[in-house]
Chain A
Protein backbone atom coordinates (compact mmCIF):
# COMPACT_ATOMS: atom_id res chain seq x y z
CA UNK A 1 0.00 0.00 0.00
CA UNK A 2 1.28 3.44 -0.84
CA UNK A 3 0.41 6.33 1.41
CA UNK A 4 -1.55 9.16 -0.16
CA UNK A 5 0.72 11.75 1.24
CA UNK A 6 4.53 11.85 1.33
CA UNK A 7 6.28 13.94 3.95
CA UNK A 8 10.02 13.94 3.51
CA UNK A 9 11.89 14.59 6.75
CA UNK A 10 15.23 13.00 5.93
CA UNK A 11 17.14 15.98 4.51
CA UNK A 12 20.35 14.94 6.24
CA UNK A 13 20.32 11.79 4.11
CA UNK A 14 19.84 13.70 0.88
CA UNK A 15 17.76 16.46 -0.67
CA UNK A 16 15.77 16.80 -3.86
CA UNK A 17 17.73 18.70 -6.48
CA UNK A 18 16.46 22.27 -6.83
CA UNK A 19 14.64 22.58 -10.22
CA UNK A 20 16.67 25.72 -11.01
CA UNK A 21 19.82 23.65 -10.49
CA UNK A 22 18.52 20.89 -12.75
CA UNK A 23 17.78 23.50 -15.43
CA UNK A 24 21.27 24.93 -15.15
CA UNK A 25 22.82 21.48 -15.48
CA UNK A 26 20.74 20.32 -18.43
CA UNK A 27 22.64 22.03 -21.30
CA UNK A 28 25.93 20.53 -20.12
CA UNK A 29 24.88 16.97 -20.96
CA UNK A 30 24.09 17.06 -24.66
CA UNK A 31 25.14 20.51 -25.85
CA UNK A 32 28.11 21.65 -23.79
CA UNK A 33 29.61 18.18 -23.60
CA UNK A 34 33.17 19.18 -24.56
CA UNK A 35 36.04 17.85 -22.51
CA UNK A 36 37.62 20.88 -20.79
CA UNK A 37 41.06 19.44 -21.59
CA UNK A 38 40.41 19.73 -25.34
CA UNK A 39 41.21 22.76 -27.48
CA UNK A 40 38.09 23.46 -29.56
CA UNK A 41 35.47 26.00 -28.64
CA UNK A 42 32.84 23.78 -27.00
CA UNK A 43 35.59 22.53 -24.70
CA UNK A 44 36.50 26.09 -23.80
CA UNK A 45 32.87 26.64 -22.79
CA UNK A 46 33.05 23.66 -20.44
CA UNK A 47 36.26 24.93 -18.94
CA UNK A 48 34.68 28.32 -18.35
CA UNK A 49 31.66 26.73 -16.66
CA UNK A 50 33.94 24.84 -14.28
CA UNK A 51 35.73 28.05 -13.33
CA UNK A 52 32.43 29.86 -12.69
CA UNK A 53 31.44 27.04 -10.32
CA UNK A 54 34.84 27.14 -8.63
CA UNK A 55 34.31 30.82 -7.92
CA UNK A 56 30.85 30.12 -6.52
CA UNK A 57 32.19 27.47 -4.13
CA UNK A 58 35.13 29.63 -3.08
CA UNK A 59 32.81 32.57 -2.34
CA UNK A 60 30.61 30.39 -0.16
CA UNK A 61 33.56 29.40 2.02
CA UNK A 62 35.57 32.60 2.11
CA UNK A 63 38.29 30.82 0.12
CA UNK A 64 40.19 31.61 -3.08
CA UNK A 65 39.06 29.84 -6.27
CA UNK A 66 42.40 28.10 -6.69
CA UNK A 67 41.91 26.46 -3.30
CA UNK A 68 38.81 24.52 -4.49
CA UNK A 69 39.10 21.04 -6.02
CA UNK A 70 36.09 19.14 -7.33
CA UNK A 71 35.59 15.52 -6.23
CA UNK A 72 32.97 12.82 -6.69
CA UNK A 73 31.41 13.72 -3.35
CA UNK A 74 31.96 14.00 0.39
CA UNK A 75 33.43 10.54 0.81
CA UNK A 76 36.17 11.14 -1.74
CA UNK A 77 36.91 14.56 -0.27
CA UNK A 78 37.28 13.06 3.24
CA UNK A 79 39.46 10.20 1.98
CA UNK A 80 41.64 12.57 -0.02
CA UNK A 81 42.06 15.10 2.80
CA UNK A 82 43.06 12.51 5.38
CA UNK A 83 45.08 10.05 3.31
CA UNK A 84 46.66 12.85 1.26
CA UNK A 85 47.81 14.87 4.26
CA UNK A 86 49.19 11.97 6.27
CA UNK A 87 50.95 10.58 3.20
CA UNK A 88 52.65 13.91 2.45
CA UNK A 89 53.56 14.60 6.07
CA UNK A 90 54.43 11.21 7.51
CA UNK A 91 58.05 12.23 8.00
CA UNK A 92 56.88 14.91 10.41
CA UNK A 93 54.84 12.51 12.50
CA UNK A 94 52.38 9.65 12.46
CA UNK A 95 49.57 10.84 14.71
CA UNK A 96 46.02 11.74 13.67
CA UNK A 97 43.31 13.16 15.93
CA UNK A 98 39.62 12.73 15.16
CA UNK A 99 36.51 12.20 17.26
CA UNK A 100 34.16 9.39 18.17
CA UNK A 101 31.12 10.68 16.28
CA UNK A 102 32.60 11.30 12.83
CA UNK A 103 30.93 10.01 9.68
CA UNK A 104 32.17 6.60 8.56
CA UNK A 105 33.94 8.25 5.61
CA UNK A 106 36.32 9.71 8.21
CA UNK A 107 36.24 6.97 10.85
CA UNK A 108 36.84 4.07 8.50
CA UNK A 109 39.60 6.01 6.73
CA UNK A 110 41.30 6.55 10.09
CA UNK A 111 40.87 2.89 10.99
CA UNK A 112 42.45 1.95 7.68
CA UNK A 113 45.40 4.25 8.39
CA UNK A 114 45.82 2.69 11.82
CA UNK A 115 46.34 -0.63 10.07
CA UNK A 116 48.97 1.09 7.92
CA UNK A 117 50.88 2.05 11.07
CA UNK A 118 49.52 5.50 11.89
CA UNK A 119 48.35 6.19 15.40
CA UNK A 120 44.86 7.67 15.82
CA UNK A 121 43.26 9.37 18.82
CA UNK A 122 39.45 9.25 18.83
CA UNK A 123 38.42 12.15 21.07
CA UNK A 124 35.34 11.48 23.17
CA UNK A 125 32.43 13.94 23.07
CA UNK A 126 30.31 15.29 25.90
CA UNK A 127 26.65 14.30 26.36
CA UNK A 128 25.59 16.90 23.79
CA UNK A 129 28.02 15.57 21.19
CA UNK A 130 30.64 18.32 21.39
CA UNK A 131 34.39 17.80 21.48
CA UNK A 132 36.04 19.39 24.53
CA UNK A 133 38.82 21.81 23.60
CA UNK A 134 40.81 20.70 26.68
CA UNK A 135 40.75 17.11 25.37
CA UNK A 136 41.99 18.29 21.98
CA UNK A 137 44.81 20.33 23.51
CA UNK A 138 45.88 17.38 25.65
CA UNK A 139 45.83 14.99 22.69
CA UNK A 140 48.13 17.00 20.39
CA UNK A 141 51.74 15.77 20.51
CA UNK A 142 54.84 16.60 18.48
CA UNK A 143 53.87 13.61 16.33
CA UNK A 144 50.43 15.01 15.42
CA UNK A 145 50.09 15.90 11.74
CA UNK A 146 46.33 16.18 11.28
CA UNK A 147 43.20 16.96 13.27
CA UNK A 148 39.94 16.02 11.54
CA UNK A 149 36.72 17.01 13.30
CA UNK A 150 33.33 17.34 11.60
CA UNK A 151 31.62 20.72 11.39
CA UNK A 152 28.20 19.35 12.33
CA UNK A 153 27.06 15.83 13.09
CA UNK A 154 24.79 14.05 10.62
CA UNK A 155 22.76 12.13 13.22
CA UNK A 156 22.25 14.43 16.19
CA UNK A 157 22.94 17.72 14.39
CA UNK A 158 25.41 18.98 17.00
CA UNK A 159 27.64 21.79 15.74
CA UNK A 160 31.24 21.47 16.88
CA UNK A 161 33.29 24.44 18.18
CA UNK A 162 35.11 24.70 14.86
CA UNK A 163 36.62 28.17 15.28
CA UNK A 164 38.14 27.17 18.61
CA UNK A 165 39.45 23.90 17.20
CA UNK A 166 40.93 25.78 14.25
CA UNK A 167 42.64 28.24 16.56
CA UNK A 168 44.22 25.48 18.65
CA UNK A 169 45.43 23.65 15.56
CA UNK A 170 46.93 26.80 14.05
CA UNK A 171 48.73 27.65 17.29
CA UNK A 172 50.15 24.15 17.51
CA UNK A 173 51.09 23.98 13.83
CA UNK A 174 48.83 21.04 13.02
CA UNK A 175 46.70 20.77 9.89
CA UNK A 176 42.94 20.96 10.52
CA UNK A 177 40.42 19.23 8.24
CA UNK A 178 36.67 19.43 8.76
CA UNK A 179 33.94 17.36 7.15
CA UNK A 180 31.38 20.10 6.53
CA UNK A 181 29.00 17.93 4.50
CA UNK A 182 26.08 18.61 6.87
CA UNK A 183 26.97 22.20 7.61
CA UNK A 184 26.95 23.89 4.20
CA UNK A 185 23.90 26.08 3.77
CA UNK A 186 23.02 25.69 7.45
CA UNK A 187 25.90 27.39 9.24
CA UNK A 188 28.08 30.35 8.29
CA UNK A 189 31.52 29.12 7.28
CA UNK A 190 34.64 31.19 6.83
CA UNK A 191 37.76 29.10 6.30
CA UNK A 192 40.01 32.11 6.96
CA UNK A 193 38.44 33.26 10.19
CA UNK A 194 38.03 29.67 11.43
CA UNK A 195 41.58 28.59 10.55
CA UNK A 196 40.37 25.64 8.51
CA UNK A 197 43.06 24.06 6.30
CA UNK A 198 40.90 21.50 4.51
CA UNK A 199 37.12 21.20 4.20
CA UNK A 200 34.90 18.57 2.55
CA UNK A 201 31.47 19.22 1.07
CA UNK A 202 28.88 17.40 -1.00
CA UNK A 203 26.27 18.97 -3.30
CA UNK A 204 23.32 16.65 -2.69
CA UNK A 205 23.00 17.77 0.94
CA UNK A 206 22.07 21.30 -0.13
CA UNK A 207 19.67 20.72 -3.02
CA UNK A 208 22.41 20.01 -5.56
CA UNK A 209 23.01 16.82 -7.51
CA UNK A 210 24.47 13.56 -6.18
CA UNK A 211 27.95 12.41 -7.19
CA UNK A 212 29.70 15.76 -6.92
CA UNK A 213 31.53 17.42 -4.07
CA UNK A 214 34.62 19.44 -3.38
CA UNK A 215 37.65 19.65 -1.15
CA UNK A 216 38.96 23.02 -0.06
CA UNK A 217 42.73 22.90 0.38
CA UNK A 218 44.35 26.01 1.83
CA UNK A 219 47.19 27.23 -0.33
CA UNK A 220 50.47 25.80 0.96
CA UNK A 221 49.02 22.69 2.64
CA UNK A 222 51.22 19.69 1.87
CA UNK A 223 48.98 16.98 0.45
CA UNK A 224 49.46 14.02 -1.89
CA UNK A 225 47.00 13.06 -4.61
CA UNK A 226 44.41 10.37 -3.95
CA UNK A 227 43.63 9.71 -7.61
CA UNK A 228 46.43 9.49 -10.16
CA UNK A 229 45.97 9.93 -13.88
CA UNK A 230 45.36 12.96 -16.08
CA UNK A 231 46.31 16.51 -15.18
CA UNK A 232 42.86 17.80 -14.28
CA UNK A 233 42.25 20.12 -11.32
CA UNK A 234 45.73 21.61 -11.56
CA UNK A 235 47.31 18.15 -11.49
CA UNK A 236 45.79 17.34 -8.11
CA UNK A 237 42.68 15.34 -8.94
CA UNK A 238 42.77 13.18 -12.05
CA UNK A 239 39.68 12.29 -14.05
CA UNK A 240 37.56 14.09 -16.64
CA UNK A 241 35.48 16.74 -14.92
CA UNK A 242 31.82 16.05 -14.21
CA UNK A 243 30.71 19.26 -15.89
CA UNK A 244 26.94 19.08 -15.26
CA UNK A 245 27.63 18.10 -11.65
CA UNK A 246 30.14 20.88 -11.14
CA UNK A 247 27.74 23.44 -12.65
CA UNK A 248 24.98 22.10 -10.39
CA UNK A 249 27.20 22.23 -7.31
CA UNK A 250 28.20 25.82 -8.06
CA UNK A 251 24.66 27.08 -8.42
CA UNK A 252 23.35 25.01 -5.50
CA UNK A 253 25.93 26.37 -3.08
CA UNK A 254 25.37 29.95 -4.26
CA UNK A 255 21.61 29.59 -3.74
CA UNK A 256 22.07 27.82 -0.40
CA UNK A 257 24.18 30.65 0.97
CA UNK A 258 21.90 33.35 -0.45
CA UNK A 259 18.81 31.96 1.27
CA UNK A 260 20.49 30.56 4.36
CA UNK A 261 19.36 33.16 6.86
CA UNK A 262 15.74 33.20 5.75
CA UNK A 263 15.52 29.43 5.38
CA UNK A 264 17.20 28.68 8.72
CA UNK A 265 14.70 30.93 10.43
CA UNK A 266 11.75 29.20 8.80
CA UNK A 267 13.03 25.62 9.14
CA UNK A 268 14.18 25.99 12.73
CA UNK A 269 10.79 27.44 13.68
CA UNK A 270 9.09 24.37 12.20
CA UNK A 271 11.63 22.11 13.88
CA UNK A 272 11.15 23.81 17.26
CA UNK A 273 7.39 23.39 17.09
CA UNK A 274 7.65 19.72 16.11
CA UNK A 275 10.21 18.98 18.79
CA UNK A 276 8.33 20.82 21.52
CA UNK A 277 5.10 18.99 20.68
CA UNK A 278 6.80 15.58 20.52
CA UNK A 279 8.35 16.05 23.96
CA UNK A 280 5.07 17.40 25.34
CA UNK A 281 2.65 14.84 23.91
CA UNK A 282 4.71 11.62 24.01
CA UNK A 283 5.88 10.60 27.49
CA UNK A 284 9.19 8.81 28.10
CA UNK A 285 10.91 10.64 25.26
CA UNK A 286 14.26 12.44 25.25
CA UNK A 287 16.10 14.78 22.92
CA UNK A 288 19.52 13.60 21.76
CA UNK A 289 22.21 16.15 20.95
CA UNK A 290 22.74 19.77 21.87
CA UNK A 291 19.76 21.90 22.98
CA UNK A 292 20.88 24.95 20.96
CA UNK A 293 24.10 24.29 19.03
CA UNK A 294 22.43 22.09 16.45
CA UNK A 295 21.57 22.13 12.76
CA UNK A 296 18.35 24.10 12.13
CA UNK A 297 16.37 21.17 10.71
CA UNK A 298 17.58 18.40 13.02
CA UNK A 299 15.50 16.48 15.54
CA UNK A 300 16.90 13.35 17.16
CA UNK A 301 14.73 11.84 19.86
CA UNK A 302 14.60 8.51 21.67
CA UNK A 303 11.34 6.86 22.64
CA UNK A 304 11.61 4.41 25.51
CA UNK A 305 10.31 0.84 25.11
CA UNK A 306 10.21 0.75 21.28
CA UNK A 307 12.63 0.01 18.46
CA UNK A 308 13.53 2.32 15.60
CA UNK A 309 13.14 0.14 12.55
CA UNK A 310 9.57 -0.79 13.37
CA UNK A 311 8.92 2.91 13.92
CA UNK A 312 10.31 3.72 10.45
CA UNK A 313 8.21 0.99 8.81
CA UNK A 314 5.02 2.34 10.33
CA UNK A 315 5.93 5.95 9.55
CA UNK A 316 6.67 4.90 5.98
CA UNK A 317 3.24 3.31 5.85
CA UNK A 318 1.86 6.78 6.55
CA UNK A 319 4.15 8.32 3.94
CA UNK A 320 6.70 9.79 6.35
CA UNK A 321 10.39 9.43 5.48
CA UNK A 322 12.70 9.47 8.51
CA UNK A 323 15.70 7.56 9.86
CA UNK A 324 16.92 5.87 13.04
CA UNK A 325 20.09 5.02 14.93
CA UNK A 326 18.83 1.53 15.67
CA UNK A 327 21.07 -1.31 14.57
CA UNK A 328 18.23 -3.00 12.78
CA UNK A 329 18.36 -0.78 9.72
CA UNK A 330 22.08 -0.45 9.35
CA UNK A 331 22.94 -4.03 8.49
CA UNK A 332 25.02 -4.28 11.64
CA UNK A 333 24.17 -5.36 15.16
CA UNK A 334 25.41 -2.30 16.98
CA UNK A 335 23.24 0.77 17.32
CA UNK A 336 24.58 4.14 16.15
CA UNK A 337 28.16 4.86 17.26
CA UNK A 338 27.13 8.50 17.66
CA UNK A 339 24.34 7.77 20.14
CA UNK A 340 26.56 5.40 22.11
CA UNK A 341 29.33 8.03 22.18
CA UNK A 342 27.03 10.62 23.78
CA UNK A 343 26.35 8.07 26.50
CA UNK A 344 22.99 6.59 25.55
CA UNK A 345 22.39 3.02 26.68
CA UNK A 346 22.02 0.68 23.70
CA UNK A 347 18.27 0.24 24.22
CA UNK A 348 17.71 4.02 24.13
CA UNK A 349 19.80 4.23 20.96
CA UNK A 350 17.65 1.47 19.41
CA UNK A 351 14.57 3.61 20.07
CA UNK A 352 15.92 6.71 18.35
CA UNK A 353 14.29 8.61 15.52
CA UNK A 354 15.90 11.28 13.35
CA UNK A 355 13.68 13.79 11.59
CA UNK A 356 15.56 16.32 9.46
CA UNK A 357 13.44 19.12 8.06
CA UNK A 358 14.23 21.13 4.97
CA UNK A 359 13.16 23.58 2.31
CA UNK A 360 9.85 22.04 1.24
CA UNK A 361 8.44 21.22 4.69
CA UNK A 362 5.39 23.15 5.90
CA UNK A 363 3.35 23.73 9.06
CA UNK A 364 0.93 21.14 7.70
CA UNK A 365 3.73 18.59 7.50
CA UNK A 366 4.56 19.21 11.14
CA UNK A 367 0.93 18.72 12.17
CA UNK A 368 0.67 15.54 10.11
CA UNK A 369 3.92 14.04 11.43
CA UNK A 370 2.92 14.78 15.03
CA UNK A 371 -0.43 13.10 14.56
CA UNK A 372 1.02 9.98 12.92
CA UNK A 373 4.03 9.75 15.23
CA UNK A 374 1.79 9.74 18.28
CA UNK A 375 -0.22 6.87 16.82
CA UNK A 376 2.89 4.94 15.83
CA UNK A 377 4.53 5.23 19.24
CA UNK A 378 1.33 4.21 21.06
CA UNK A 379 0.85 1.25 18.73
CA UNK A 380 4.40 -0.04 19.21
CA UNK A 381 4.36 0.54 22.95
CA UNK A 382 1.15 -1.48 23.24
CA UNK A 383 3.10 -4.30 21.63
CA UNK A 384 6.20 -3.95 23.78
CA UNK A 385 6.97 -6.14 26.81
CA UNK A 386 9.18 -3.32 28.13
CA UNK A 387 6.22 -0.96 28.13
CA UNK A 388 4.01 -3.60 29.79
CA UNK A 389 6.59 -3.90 32.58
CA UNK A 390 6.83 -0.13 32.83
CA UNK A 391 3.05 0.21 33.20
CA UNK A 392 3.00 -2.43 35.93
CA UNK A 393 5.84 -0.71 37.75
CA UNK A 394 4.11 2.67 37.66
CA UNK A 395 0.84 1.10 38.88
CA UNK A 396 2.63 -0.43 41.83
CA UNK A 397 4.25 2.80 42.93
Chain B
Protein backbone atom coordinates (compact mmCIF):
# COMPACT_ATOMS: atom_id res chain seq x y z
CA UNK B 1 0.00 0.00 0.00
CA UNK B 2 2.97 2.35 0.53
CA UNK B 3 5.37 3.65 -2.11
CA UNK B 4 9.00 2.61 -2.01
CA UNK B 5 9.90 6.12 -0.91
CA UNK B 6 7.55 5.94 2.07
CA UNK B 7 8.98 2.57 3.05
CA UNK B 8 12.53 3.91 2.68
CA UNK B 9 11.82 6.86 4.98
CA UNK B 10 9.96 4.62 7.41
CA UNK B 11 12.71 2.01 7.56
CA UNK B 12 15.54 4.58 7.54
CA UNK B 13 14.11 7.72 9.07
CA UNK B 14 16.18 10.88 8.52
CA UNK B 15 16.63 13.36 11.35
CA UNK B 16 15.00 11.22 14.00
CA UNK B 17 15.80 12.34 17.52
CA UNK B 18 15.65 15.30 19.84
CA UNK B 19 17.46 18.66 19.99
CA UNK B 20 17.66 19.38 23.71
CA UNK B 21 18.40 23.10 23.30
CA UNK B 22 16.12 23.61 20.29
CA UNK B 23 15.25 27.19 19.26
CA UNK B 24 11.74 26.14 18.28
CA UNK B 25 9.60 23.08 19.13
CA UNK B 26 6.22 22.18 17.64
CA UNK B 27 3.93 19.34 18.65
CA UNK B 28 0.78 18.28 16.82
CA UNK B 29 -1.68 15.37 16.90
CA UNK B 30 -2.89 13.47 19.93
CA UNK B 31 -2.56 9.94 21.28
CA UNK B 32 -6.28 9.22 20.97
CA UNK B 33 -5.99 9.56 17.22
CA UNK B 34 -2.89 7.42 17.15
CA UNK B 35 -0.39 10.00 15.98
CA UNK B 36 1.79 12.67 17.60
CA UNK B 37 4.59 14.53 15.88
CA UNK B 38 7.18 16.69 17.59
CA UNK B 39 9.53 18.86 15.51
CA UNK B 40 12.72 20.45 16.92
CA UNK B 41 14.49 23.31 15.09
CA UNK B 42 17.91 24.91 15.43
CA UNK B 43 17.86 28.32 13.76
CA UNK B 44 20.89 30.47 12.94
CA UNK B 45 20.58 33.74 10.98
CA UNK B 46 17.01 32.88 9.96
CA UNK B 47 18.11 29.52 8.56
CA UNK B 48 17.07 26.04 9.73
CA UNK B 49 20.54 24.68 10.41
CA UNK B 50 19.31 21.55 12.19
CA UNK B 51 16.01 19.75 12.55
CA UNK B 52 14.91 16.59 14.36
CA UNK B 53 11.63 14.81 14.92
CA UNK B 54 9.96 12.37 17.27
CA UNK B 55 6.84 10.61 16.06
CA UNK B 56 4.28 8.24 17.55
CA UNK B 57 2.21 6.94 14.68
CA UNK B 58 1.83 4.79 11.63
CA UNK B 59 4.32 4.24 8.82
CA UNK B 60 3.03 7.23 6.88
CA UNK B 61 3.36 9.48 9.92
CA UNK B 62 6.99 8.48 10.43
CA UNK B 63 7.81 8.84 6.73
CA UNK B 64 6.08 12.24 6.54
CA UNK B 65 8.07 13.51 9.52
CA UNK B 66 11.30 12.23 8.01
CA UNK B 67 10.61 13.74 4.59
CA UNK B 68 9.35 17.06 5.96
CA UNK B 69 12.48 17.53 8.06
CA UNK B 70 14.62 16.79 4.97
CA UNK B 71 12.69 19.37 2.95
CA UNK B 72 13.21 22.23 5.41
CA UNK B 73 16.83 21.59 6.37
CA UNK B 74 19.05 24.51 5.26
CA UNK B 75 16.05 26.61 4.24
CA UNK B 76 15.19 30.11 5.44
CA UNK B 77 12.23 30.29 7.82
CA UNK B 78 10.13 31.82 5.04
CA UNK B 79 10.99 28.94 2.69
CA UNK B 80 10.42 26.33 5.40
CA UNK B 81 7.01 27.85 6.14
CA UNK B 82 6.01 27.37 2.51
CA UNK B 83 6.68 23.61 2.51
CA UNK B 84 3.15 22.29 2.15
CA UNK B 85 1.67 18.92 3.04
CA UNK B 86 1.27 18.36 -0.69
CA UNK B 87 4.99 18.87 -1.21
CA UNK B 88 5.70 16.33 1.53
CA UNK B 89 3.30 13.80 0.02
CA UNK B 90 4.67 14.34 -3.48
CA UNK B 91 8.26 13.95 -2.33
CA UNK B 92 7.17 10.62 -0.82
CA UNK B 93 5.80 9.59 -4.23
CA UNK B 94 2.28 9.74 -2.89
CA UNK B 95 0.40 8.63 0.21
CA UNK B 96 -2.78 6.54 0.38
CA UNK B 97 -5.81 8.90 0.62
CA UNK B 98 -6.57 7.87 4.19
CA UNK B 99 -2.98 8.75 5.16
CA UNK B 100 -2.90 12.26 3.69
CA UNK B 101 -3.53 13.68 7.16
CA UNK B 102 -0.05 12.48 8.13
CA UNK B 103 1.48 14.95 5.69
CA UNK B 104 -0.85 17.66 7.03
CA UNK B 105 0.43 16.87 10.49
CA UNK B 106 4.02 17.34 9.28
CA UNK B 107 3.23 20.74 7.76
CA UNK B 108 1.47 21.84 10.93
CA UNK B 109 4.30 20.58 13.11
CA UNK B 110 6.77 22.72 11.20
CA UNK B 111 4.51 25.76 11.43
CA UNK B 112 4.15 25.30 15.16
CA UNK B 113 7.90 24.93 15.65
CA UNK B 114 8.61 28.08 13.59
CA UNK B 115 6.02 30.09 15.51
CA UNK B 116 7.39 28.76 18.79
CA UNK B 117 10.75 30.25 17.72
CA UNK B 118 9.16 33.53 16.63
CA UNK B 119 7.23 33.94 19.88
CA UNK B 120 10.33 33.18 21.95
CA UNK B 121 12.15 35.91 20.00
CA UNK B 122 9.43 38.50 20.49
CA UNK B 123 8.25 38.23 16.89
CA UNK B 124 4.66 38.16 15.71
CA UNK B 125 3.66 34.51 15.00
CA UNK B 126 2.71 33.83 11.41
CA UNK B 127 -0.85 32.84 10.72
CA UNK B 128 -1.28 29.08 10.74
CA UNK B 129 -3.77 27.70 8.25
CA UNK B 130 -5.49 25.32 10.62
CA UNK B 131 -4.09 26.05 14.03
CA UNK B 132 -4.41 23.06 16.38
CA UNK B 133 -6.31 21.10 13.80
CA UNK B 134 -5.85 17.45 13.11
CA UNK B 135 -7.43 17.20 9.75
CA UNK B 136 -8.30 13.75 8.51
CA UNK B 137 -9.40 14.34 4.96
CA UNK B 138 -12.38 12.74 3.38
CA UNK B 139 -14.12 11.39 6.45
CA UNK B 140 -17.62 12.54 7.10
CA UNK B 141 -18.00 10.62 10.30
CA UNK B 142 -15.12 12.52 11.86
CA UNK B 143 -14.76 11.50 15.45
CA UNK B 144 -11.07 11.86 16.06
CA UNK B 145 -10.11 15.51 16.10
CA UNK B 146 -8.22 17.65 18.49
Which residue from A327, A334, A345, A385 sits with its C-beta under 8 Å from B56?
Answer: A385
Query: Is A386 a contact partner of B36 (Cβ separation < 8 A)?
Result: yes
Query: Is B55 a contact partner of A384 (Cβ separation < 8 A)?
Result: yes
Could you tell me how many residues of chain A have their Cβ less than 8 Å away from some Cβ of chain B? 27
Given contacts A310-B59, A383-B16, contact A347 B38 (CB under 8 A): no
Contacts of B119 in A (CB 8 A): none
Query: Is A346 a contact partner of B54 (Cβ separation < 8 A)?
Result: no
The yes or no answer to A103 lying at the interface (CB within 8 A) is no
Chain B, Cβ-Cβ closest to A328: B58
- The residues in B between 116 and 146 inclusive whose CB is less than 8 angstroms from any CB of A are 136, 139, 142-144
- The residues in B between 78 and 100 inclusive whose CB is less than 8 angstroms from any CB of A are 98
Given contacts A317-B11, A346-B32, contact A307 B136 (CB under 8 A): no
Which residue from A305, A317, A388 sits with its C-beta under 8 Å from B18?
Answer: A388
A–B Cβ pairs within 8 angstroms, 16 of them: A305-B56, A307-B34, A307-B57, A314-B11, A326-B34, A327-B144, A328-B34, A328-B35, A328-B58, A333-B144, A335-B34, A346-B31, A346-B33, A347-B31, A350-B31, A383-B13
> Top 5 closest A-B pairs, CB basis?
A347-B31, A328-B58, A309-B58, A385-B54, A350-B34
Could you count the A-B residue pairs with CB atoms below 8 Å apart for me: how many are there? 77
- The residues in B between 9 and 44 inclusive whose CB is less than 8 angstroms from any CB of A are 10-11, 13, 16, 18, 27, 31-38
The yes or no answer to B105 lying at the interface (CB within 8 A) is no
Interface SS of chain A: helix, strand, loop or mixed?
helix
Chain A, Cβ-Cβ closest to B54: A385
Determine the distance from Cα of A388 to Cα of B27 in the docked complex, in whole angstroms: 13
User: With contacts A310-B10, A327-B144, A385-B55 known, what are 7 further pairs, Cβ within 8 A?
Assistant: A313-B7, A317-B11, A350-B34, A382-B16, A383-B13, A383-B54, A384-B36
The yes or no answer to B114 lying at the interface (CB within 8 A) is no
